[in-house]
Amino acid sequence: MTRRPSPDAPATGRCRCGRIVFEVAKPPLITMACHCTGCQRMTASAFSLSAAIPAEGFRVMEGEPAIGGLHGELEHFCCSRCMSWLFTRIPAAQSMINVRSPMLEGADWKEPFVETWTSEKLPWATTPARHSFPGFPPQEAWPRMIAEFQAEFAGGASAKS
Ligand SMILES: [Zn+2]
Ligand SMILES: [Zn+2]
């Protein structure tokens, strides 16, 4: 079993109908699953899957993503035709884009390293995540987890440069 998220950036992602195509040119800082009830509704599933991509390594190649979700502080970008939820911009963390990893081709970068909001999870929902948090992880937890992910999954190569 290969544990590397992918040695093969760039990767291409797309919505279900194919109107929106994006490119990920840098490997993720970390991968996540979120069990919150908001993600359950937006994915119509047990949890969302994300790969946090350095913002400079993310590019929409085709189509015009539209804001979906709550239209609040977090910007949830979707395809306006098929309504697939594609990626999220977090104003407080402008340096990265949370890409919904199932939109990417292939199986790479989809296994969650961290899971959040387990306090809201469906009783049967489990993931292989290494770190679990009942809510959103505290700010100080991220640098250590990102370093651990990079060391283990990215072959020690810096994804931040
Ligand atoms: Zn679409
Ligand atoms: Zn969530």
Question: Rounded to two decimals, what is the model's pTM?
Answer: 0.89
Is-contact 101 87, C-beta < 8 A? Answer: no
Per-residue pLDDT reduced to its tens digit, 69-119 = 999 999 999 999 999 999 999 988 889 999 999 999 888 889 999 999 999
90 alpha carbon – ligand 1 mean position (Å): 22
Kindly state whether residue 5 falls inside one of the protein's structural domains.
no
Which ligand places an atom closest to the C-alpha of 103?
A: 1
Distance (Å) from CA 85 to ligand 1 centroid: 9
**Among 34, 4, 48, 53, CA closest to 114:** 34
Is residue 114 assigned to a domain? yes
Nearest ligand atom owner, CA of 49 = 2
DSSP track, 23-68: EE-S--SEEEEE--HHHHHHHTSS-EEEEEEEGGGEEEEES--EEE
Quick check: is 6 in a domain?
no
Sheet holding 114-116, edge to edge: 66-68, 75-78, 85-89, 96-100, 48-54, 30-34, 114-116, 131-132
- The CA-atom distances, in angstroms, between 90 and each of 44, 97, 130 are 22, 7, 23
Q: What ligand is nearest to the CA atom of residue 17? A: 1
**What pLDDT shows up at residue 4?**
53
Q: For residue 158, tell me if it sits in a domain.
A: no
97: containing domain: 11-153
How many angstroms is it from 32 CA to the middle of ligand 2?
10
Cα Rg for the chain, rounded, in angstroms?
A: 15
Which ligand approaches the C-alpha of residue 14 most closely? 1
On whether residue 159 sits in a domain, the answer given is no
Q: Is residue 9 scored above 90 in pLDDT? A: no
How do 48-54 and 96-100 pair as beta strands? antiparallel
Domain assignment present for 78 = yes
Is the residue at 46 inside a domain?
A: yes
Closest ligand (CA of 120): 2
Q: Which pLDDT score is estimated for 157?
A: 46
What is the tally of structural domains in the chain? 1
Which residues, in sequence order, are CB contacts of 144 under 8 Å at separation 6+? none
**Distance from residue 78's CA to the centre of ligand 1 (Å):** 8
Q: Which two tokens stand for residue 50?
A: 């994300």
- Please report, for the domain that includes residue 147, its CATH number: 3.90.1590.10
Closest residue by Cα to residue 47 from 126, 137, 157:
126
Q: How much distance in Å is there from the Cα of 1 to the middle of ligand 2? A: 28
Please indicate, yes or no, if residue 16 is contained in any of the structural domains: yes
